[in-house]
Every structure is written in structure tokens, then in C-alpha cells.
Amino acid sequence: MKNGFIGFWGIFIAYFIFVHPCIIYYNTYHTSSNTENGKLAVFYLGLSFLLWTIVLGTTLWLIIRNGILAQKNLAYIDRHGKRVQAKIIQSAILKEHENFISRQITLEMMNFSGAVIHHTMMVNDVRPKENRFENGKNIYLKVDSEFKKNPYLLLEGSTSKVNYALLLLWLVFTGGVAAYYLYAYTTENGGLGWRFLELFHPLLVIPACFILFTGIFYLIFRVFIMGNNTGRELLELKFKGEKTIAEIVQVQQTGTYINEQPQVEFTLEFTDKGGKKIHGVKKEIVSLLDIAKVSALKHREIMYLSDRPEKFVFYDQINN
């Protein structure tokens, strides 16, 4: 169900980024001199190159970062990471493959500061007959204590491999972009060079839409879901954070809604382990049904970094 939902919206968004601009453009009358000013046409060409460079460069960096570099980081964490014992409190089979079983497991453990935390992760069990990932079993994680090596933690004894298919897909996509430049120039220039380019040509609109859509989704995820913390900071807060109780000074709705659920801003006050009084603000999306209950709260458990107490997160939010 989840994969179908993601697949549907992926195709839906891809249509509006890649297909819809072409349908509109090529069903509208255009000439080989859409931009009579030659310098402006060259500017559009340069802008198109810039936009595609951003798109292709960013996607290539993400593929390398989460592939080749991640594998090197995992090897480093396996050698130098801090060993943490964890108990499996929930284990569910996601899919049974020919040579392995994909599972989602929820772990309970003590973090570096002695607080009880839960962490959910997916594992591919290549030896399912050994029942290593059943409820109640103990396993070990290796965690980068400095949280500098993405993906920061791994299951002890696990192996990894780079998915070079993504790199191949990127090369095919890049070749497709180059082929489209050649096709557009060959069929549209009419002997006038790049003057057929205009602001709403697909060579400009497609990468602009790609940047716009991905930027919007990133902002929604980064600002409204993750708040002021990045994924690395959330993991660091979970595994290194000190647990304490914060006093809620004020609760108010921000006026922002995500999926028709309101965003609430909490003004909090707590004392760190050094005795310093810390004031902070944290935003959270809550259910409409829980508004009254949330507004009545006087205290909430939080986790904060001892060396940066302004970095904190709700304990129940990071532990679910």
C-alpha cells in the first residue's frame, strides 16, 4: 500500500515536471525566432545549462553520497564505531525474497547518556533460519560517536554494496537531456541558431519545475516535519541526548496546517545538567483531536545535547 502510494505520487509529479510542459509547448504555435534578441537567446541558453547543471549535479552528488561514500563510511563505523547493545521489542516481516527476508525491527537500548531510547530500522536477514531478529533477541549496533559519517550507525556484522544501477540511470537520464538539446536545436532552429529558445521552452521549464517541486517538498519536510533539526541532528539527539522534563510556558497554533492538521508552537523552559536555564521554541504537527489535550500540557519530556542545549527535541516525538 505504501509503495503504491509513493509510486502513484511519483508518477503524478513526474508527469507535471517532464511531460506536461512539453505537451503545452508543442501544442502551441512557435517560430524559429521566438526570441529575436540574440543576446537574450544566449542568456536563455546559459540559464538552461545552469538549471540542468544544478539538477544533474545535485542528483549525482546524492547518488554518490548515499552509495560510494556511504559504503566507505559504513566500513569506518564498523571499525571505529561505539558498540551498543539493543533488545528487539518488535519485529515484522516486510517481504520475503528468494535469498533473504526484509524485516523492520524496533530496538530498545540505553543511549550514550543512559536514557532509554527506541530506534526502528530495516534489515535484510540472509540467514532467517537462525531467528536472529525475533522479539526479545539482543543484537549490537555500531554507532559513530561523533555523528560525522553518514549513515552514522549500522547493525554489527552487516555488509553493504553500492547500487550502481542508480548511477547507470543517472547516465541514461543525462544522455537523454543531451539528446533533447540536440533534437530541439535540429528541429526548431530554422537556421537562426538558439533564437527558438524562450522562457517557457521545456529546456528551461523542466529543470526549473524539478528544482521548484523538490525544493517545496524539502522545505515541507525540513521545516514543518523535522523542525529545526536535520536527520543527523535527530540521530545525535537520540543517541547522545540528555533526558529531562521541560516546563511548557506557552502553547499556540501557528496558523499553518499540514494535511489539515494544525502546527502548534511550544515555548519551553528547562534546566540543563550544568544548572543553566534554557529557553526555547519547538513546533509540532498535532492531530485536531489532540488540540485540547496538547494545549493543557504543563510539562513534556525532552532530549537535549549537553554541549548544545539549545538543540532539543520532544522525547516522545523522537522515540516513536
pLDDT in tens, 30-64: 899 999 999 999 999 999 999 999 999 999 999 99
* Structural domains counted in the chain: 3
Q: Residue 59 has which C-alpha cell?
A: 542528483
Q: Which position has the grid cell 532539543?
A: 312
**5 burial type by CB count under 10 A (0-12 exposed, 13-18 middle, 19+ buried):** exposed
Largest CA distance in the chain: 76
**Whether 55 and 168 share a structural domain:** yes
- Quote the pLDDT of residue 97: 86
Domain assignment present for residue 53? The answer is yes
Domain assignment present for residue 189? The answer is yes
**Whether 82 and 115 share a structural domain:** yes
Give 225's pLDDT tier (boundaries 50, 70, 90): low
Q: Which position has the grid cell 542545549?
A: 309
Kindly report, residue by residue over 244-303, the tens digit of the pLDDT: 999 999 999 999 888 889 999 999 999 999 999 999 999 888 888 888 898 889 999 999
Kindly report, residue by residue over 230-255, the tens digit of the pLDDT: 688 899 999 999 999 999 999 999 99
Q: Residue 156 has which C-alpha cell?
A: 554489527
Domain assignment present for residue 253? The answer is yes
Domain assignment present for residue 122? The answer is yes
**Whether 142 and 100 share a structural domain:** yes
Cα separations (Å) of 256 from 26, 220, 293, 318?
39, 11, 19, 22
**Whether 258 and 270 share a structural domain:** yes
44, 196 contact by CB (below 8 A)? no
Taking the model in full, what pTM does it have?
Answer: 0.72
Q: Residue 264 has which C-alpha cell?
A: 502548534
**Whether 265 and 123 share a structural domain:** no
**Whether 255 and 303 share a structural domain:** yes
**Whether 121 and 258 share a structural domain:** no
- Range(s) of the domain holding residue 172: 16-66+164-223
